Amino acid sequence: MQVYMVKEGNQKPGEPLLNETIDLKEYLKQESYFGFAASTGDPQIELNCVLKWSLQINNQPDDENDEKWWKIGAGVCVSVVMIIFIFVVCGVVFVRRKRSKASLEEATEFGSYILKWLPGMPREFKYKELKKATSNFHESMKLGEGGFGIVYKGVLLLNDKADDGGTTTTTTTEIAVKKFSRDSIKSKDDFLAELTIIHHLRHKNLVRLVGWCYEKGKLLLVYDFMPNGSLEKHLQKGPEQDTLNWNRRYRILVGVASALHYLHNEYDKKVVHRDLKTSNILLDADFNSRLGDFGLARALENEKNSYNELGLGGVPGTMGYVAPECFHTGRATPESDVFGFGVVVLEVVCGKGPGTKIRHNQHLYSMVDWVWTLHRDGRILEAVDENLGNNFVHDEANRLLLLGLACSHPIDSERPKTETIIQIVSGTLPHASRTSVQACLHLA
């Protein structure tokens, strides 16, 4: 018996794969049937297929039974060898495709099962709903872009049926859809960090989570739409477009301080935002502040005070808002959040970003150093945004500038706690930050 095996379309090889002399009577009964069978050894994967087989008899035996058994034996051997070869080829392709889809299937399974059972979870959206609401994530609907994804404006159509079964009315509601930029399992940690924290938070100065979508590898979060955009965009506008009068600026900072105090002290776990900056402070229709973008936030256990203890070390955040000790320790703490808040306070009052270079007395200063210099010279109110002219409350401006300097103290333990910050912005403790400010000036 000689067995040859070749891919379809190729010529017959010169040497047989199997070349044996056998007596089939020793293995088969007088009457037998033959077919094809194969086994992979793996109970989870099996793919069997026979494409083509043929049997040729070169030496015709004299005995009719011998002829029959010869055909049967040859057919069985050829078929078994061929099926093994075909199975190996098909199995390799099958396993590779299965592995390439494994992470996507894991993410889909995770999203469709685990997330639904998180307590207090908001609405789960279908991907096609959000795709339609954002005009297929059109560029014209884009609100902003960060390190974790792109935020789009969306318009949901809601059908409201009358209680008496009468006419159905259609209403619209505006939403903000955050589409994570890495639509794969690689962004699952970022997605879950934001979702598992913010879906529990309840505060009037935090952006409210409306819903989520985890479908077909797409990761999306849905928030209330903030019609006045980010605080940063308003601060960057020219004086002719300035809509941030003093009362609005002061109210915005009071709201951010309240939100930060809630995260650090009033929620059941201590939450450190880690990316407090003006672009992450959004404004509603009445210019009330809403702190958002919790992509870098983590909930710390009550007995822990840094991310190193959770295995989440590093220096997260945005340059200019990151506390100096973070670059040495790799730790993010509530005190580093306070530093970021201090920079935000100075930016709102001065109308200048932390990276702005300001020429003063023949020297170039950063925004924070410039305010320190003016304070040392007894001219701190000169730091107030010139777009405001003289339309601001001098006592409030002086209080906020001192607070901003105190929060940006180079030693984290000297920065005020959020309880003190709330008292300062409310005016009940107007001079509490002076000690810290003087200490900073002495160190300088």
* Domains identified in the chain and CATH numbers: 2-95 (no CATH), 117-224 (3.30.200.20), 231-443 (1.10.510.10)
Instruction: State the pLDDT at residue 13.
Output: 87
pLDDT of residue 323: 85
The rounded average pLDDT for each run of 10 residues, N- to C-terminus, in the chain (444 residues) is 78 85 80 69 59 65 54 58 64 56 47 54 87 94 81 85 62 90 57 72 90 83 92 80 86 96 87 89 94 73 52 62 82 89 96 88 87 93 93 94 93 92 81 48 42
Query: Rounded distance, CA 299 to CA 69, Å?
Result: 76
Active site residue 62: no
**CA 190, 195, 200, 205 torsion-angle sign:** positive
The pLDDT assigned to 161 comes to 59
How far out from the chain centre does Cα 414 lie? 33
SS (H, E, C) 355-419: CCEEEECCEEEEHHHHHHHHHHCCCHHHHCCHHHCCCCCHHHHHHHHHHHHHHCCCCHHHCCCHH
Q: Hey, what are 114's tokens? A: 């685990």
Please, which residues have CB within 8 angstroms of residue 171's CB and are 6 or more apart in sequence?
Answer: 157, 158, 160
Catalytic residue chosen out of the listed positions 63, 189, 268, 275: 275
Global pTM? 0.68
CA atoms within 13 A on the CB side of 296: 20
